[in-house]
Structure 1
Amino acid sequence: MSLSQQIEEKKNELKLLKEELANKRSGGNSLILRTTSSDVQSFNSSPLKIRRNLTGHLGKIYGMHWATDSTKLVSASQDGRLIVWNAKSTNKLLAIALRSNWVMTTGFAPSGKMVASGGLDNVCSVFDITDTEDENLSAFRELNGHTGYISCTRFLDDQQILTSSGDMSCILWDINSGSKITEFLDHNGDVMFLAIKPGDSNIFLSASCDGTTKLWDIRAGNCEYTFEGHQSDVNTVSFFPDGNCFGTGSDDATCKLFDIRVGAEVNNYTHDEILCGITSIDFSLSGRFLFASYDNFNCYMWDVLKGKEVMVMEGHNNRVSSLGVSPDGYALCTASWDKDIKIWA
């Protein structure tokens, strides 16, 4: 066989393998985890209860984010304030007056030295909070470049921050200079949320109203893979603790689990009584549980392997807009339009 014939044979073999992989991705069993985990013991109940109630906001709370010390957290409310809390003592450490009341998101820097906010003013405001005695704290930097609302802010470190926007883009910023480093432009709808890969800040996910979630590598600047499967807006995304999988929550009333290594959905989480959208999700530290907040004022705790509801977490009397598991895994925070923040453990 000549060299050209060998090359042609390998090309045909590669084509067949690609077609086989595409068929498996499109028609594969999205409930594969339920099948493979049939012998694993189920969780039928959980002692998770409300341990702390953080009160002080005067408007709907739209976002919260834990600090890496698992003690402090920051919340953003349409009362026009960011509040930095001690979640254990319930004390307010700092209240920051924002230039716009229409705030939608907030984020804590990994160092704990900065917080950021964004909203309908299309600006990401970054605050240096090392001096918590300053009651009239002004933004250290205002990052202005999006043409739509800011939906999510996530720090890579004290020098760089990612933002997502209703203008269908994500932007990586240099905080010190206030300039754009890279724009990420592949979505066809509002980008609603960001998640940075644990242990590798070069990789992040974006969830969008175009019904997809995209995987990006900051070094390449391009979309590495697009994950489909939802029938409506994807509002939220969170990496699984090991970084190999991720969860999503959508207005189609389902949460899904995707495996990045095979580029496919491997489980979903819903039942007939859930008729509303999901606003926020996060995983337990072990990865066994998925927590999701809903428009029906409740949060659900799901068994990731079994795809079964473990418990309904009732306590808020309005839409639960944001939730997050503390980095040490000991607590869950939920924030709501009822103006309250609850700590569960």
Structure 2
Amino acid sequence: AVFYIKLQNVLRFKPFRCRSLPAQRKYMRSPLIPEMATQEVQLNETLAHLKTESETLKSKLEEERAKLHDVELHQVAEKVEGLGQFVMKTRRTLKGHGNKVLCMDWCKDKRRIVSSSQVTTLSFDGFLFFHKLVLFFCMYRGLDNKCSVYPLSLDKNENLAAKKKSVAMHTNYLSACSFTNSDMQILTSSGDGTCALWDVESGQLLQSFHGHAADVLCLDLAPSETGNTFVSGGCDKKANVWDMRSGQCIQSFETHESDINSVRYYPSGDAFASGSDDATCRLYDLRADREVAIYSKESIIFGVSSVDFSLSGRLLFGGYNDYTINVWDVLKGTRVSILFGHENRVSTLRVSPDGTAFCTGSWDHTLRIWA
């Protein structure tokens, strides 16, 4: 009897569950689900097709470039006399920053340097007299996604903070900024994968540049006063050349094996160099539309943080994460000197406007003048 009652209970509830489940599923099913699934499949197929097409076009482009690759730069320069060992040493050590020096540049008078540290201060140093002149702000960028401009003033009592103007606004951190030749426009690069051109007075966006697939880490303007191009490098291992008027990428180079930390135009503007975390510096000829030289040694295993050319363009200076500065013969592709002195990574490097010296900044909180 007990078994019969339990069996009846099972038979009683089993049909109820069988009838309710299909009804519930039928109620929850939306007619949009099959359509959305179809659209997703079509989208994935389109993306796969476009990716295949882009890879095909990229291969064809490399084939066309290879047809023009008839000779190496060092082969052309075989008859050029070598430089031998190049001797330089530290002439001044500038101290005053309380944190890592991140960037610096020379003033036009060739006697002063502006530098910034991780605590967002900028200082002007008169290196000929070996003392700090004044501390104030001008233009800076940081992790607040903004580029701020301050008016310059030697009056320490003036409230410069009240005159601050936020010009650029990205959706991620700013990695680099530079005034254009007009001084009324600012060019910025950002971790949001874009570069942008801004008007200083109005703060309006004049042009945006899309083409990198990851963070943009560096940029450099063409040296010509009438030039309308700049080059950028980023975490996607690409160096892109841009037309500021159209916003289009007019040339792209992807030969590095890691992030590009620094780019610098050759003095003539016909080429540029790049420094990367893959421990190499590379030279790209814009007229030949290809890479023409690699500057590396098996013993160098640390990344390049900053690069710059000598005034003549014969030397390429590279600051490295192993605290050294390597000096390369651009034509021969050989290292002519290695400089020691910093006690932490070299974060920035710039040659003076007259070409008689160059300055380096480091995470050891100092700047050094080399000649």
TM-score > 0.5, shorter chain as reference: yes
Give yes or no for contact 1:93–1:132 (8 Å, CA) kept in 2: no
Higher gyration radius (CA): 2
- Structure 1 unaligned blocks of 5 or more: 1-17, 98-114
List aligned pairs for 1:21-40, cutoff 5 A.
22-26=62-66, 32-40=72-80
Q: Return the offset for 1:324.
A: 0.4
Match of 2:178 in 1: 154
Distance 1:269 1:142 in 2: 39
Which whole-Å deviations, capped at 9, do the CAs of 1:81-139 have from their partners, x for residues lacking one?
11122232233232136xxxxxxxxxxxxxxxxx421121211111221x222365325
Match of 2:140 in 1: 117
Counterpart of 1:162 in structure 2: which amino acid?
Answer: L
Give yes or no for contact 1:30–1:268 (8 Å, CA) kept in 2: no
Is 1:177 the counterpart of 2:202 in the alignment?
Answer: yes
> Structure 1 residues 255, 134: closer, same or farther in 2, change over 3 A?
same
Q: Which of residues 118, 125, 134 is equivalent to 2:156?
A: 134
Counterpart of 1:158 in structure 2: which amino acid?
Answer: D
DSSP-derived class of the 2:294 partner? strand
Match of 2:167 in 1: 143
> Structure 1 residues 201, 93: closer, same or farther in 2, change over 3 A?
farther
> Structure 1 residues 51, 30: closer, same or farther in 2, change over 3 A?
farther
> Structure 1 residues 90, 127: closer, same or farther in 2, change over 3 A?
farther
Q: Which of residues 182, 185, 192 is equivalent to 1:167?
A: 192
Q: Return the offset for 1:24.
A: 4.8
Give yes or no for contact 1:236–1:248 (8 Å, CA) kept in 2: yes
Give yes or no for contact 2:87–2:337 (8 Å, CA) kept in 1: no
Q: Return the offset for 1:21.
A: 7.2
Q: Which of residues 329, 333, 336 is equivalent to 1:307?
A: 333
Is 1:297 the counterpart of 2:320 in the alignment?
Answer: no
> Structure 1 residues 93, 133: closer, same or farther in 2, change over 3 A?
farther
DSSP-derived class of the 1:35 partner? helix
Q: Return the offset for 1:19.
A: 9.6
Which whole-Å deviations, capped at 9, do the CAs of 1:311-339 have from their partners, x for residues lacking one?
11101000100000011111100000000
Q: Return the offset for 1:44.
A: 2.0
> Structure 1 residues 267, 30: closer, same or farther in 2, change over 3 A?
farther
TM-score by length of 1: 0.85
Counterpart of 2:200 in structure 1: which amino acid?
Answer: I
> Structure 1 residues 169, 19: closer, same or farther in 2, change over 3 A?
closer
Match of 1:105 in 2: none
Q: Return the offset for 1:143.
A: 2.2
How many percent of aligned residue pairs carry the same amino acid?
A: 42
Say how many residue pairs are matched. 310
Match of 2:266 in 1: 240
Is 1:344 the counterpart of 2:366 in the alignment?
Answer: no
- Structure 2 unaligned blocks of 5 or more: 1-57
Counterpart of 2:212 in structure 1: which amino acid?
Answer: H
Give yes or no for contact 2:68–2:288 (8 Å, CA) kept in 1: no
Bigger mean CA deviation after superposition, 225-234 or 42-51: 42-51
Give yes or no for contact 1:187–1:210 (8 Å, CA) kept in 2: yes
Give yes or no for contact 1:250–1:277 (8 Å, CA) kept in 2: yes
Distance 1:291 1:271 in 2: 15
Q: Return the offset for 1:201.
A: 3.9
Which whole-Å deviations, capped at 9, do the CAs of 1:132-155 have from their partners, x for residues lacking one?
223653253212420111111110
Distance 2:113 2:104 in 1: 7
Is 1:190 the counterpart of 2:215 in the alignment?
Answer: yes
Match of 2:115 in 1: 75
Give yes or no for contact 1:209–1:233 (8 Å, CA) kept in 2: yes
Q: Which of residues 229, 249, 253 is equivalent to 2:255?
A: 229
Counterpart of 1:132 in structure 2: which amino acid?
Answer: L
Distance 1:38 1:284 in 2: 21
**Hey, which bits of structure 1, 4+ residues long, moved more than 6 A?**
18-21
Bigger mean CA deviation after superposition, 272-281 or 135-144: 135-144
Distance 2:331 2:265 in 1: 16
Give yes or no for contact 1:94–1:133 (8 Å, CA) kept in 2: no
Higher helix share: 2
> RMSD between aligned alpha carbons?
2.0
Bigger mean CA deviation after superposition, 197-206 or 252-261: 197-206
Which whole-Å deviations, capped at 9, do the CAs of 1:217-249 have from their partners, x for residues lacking one?
111111111112111111110000000010001
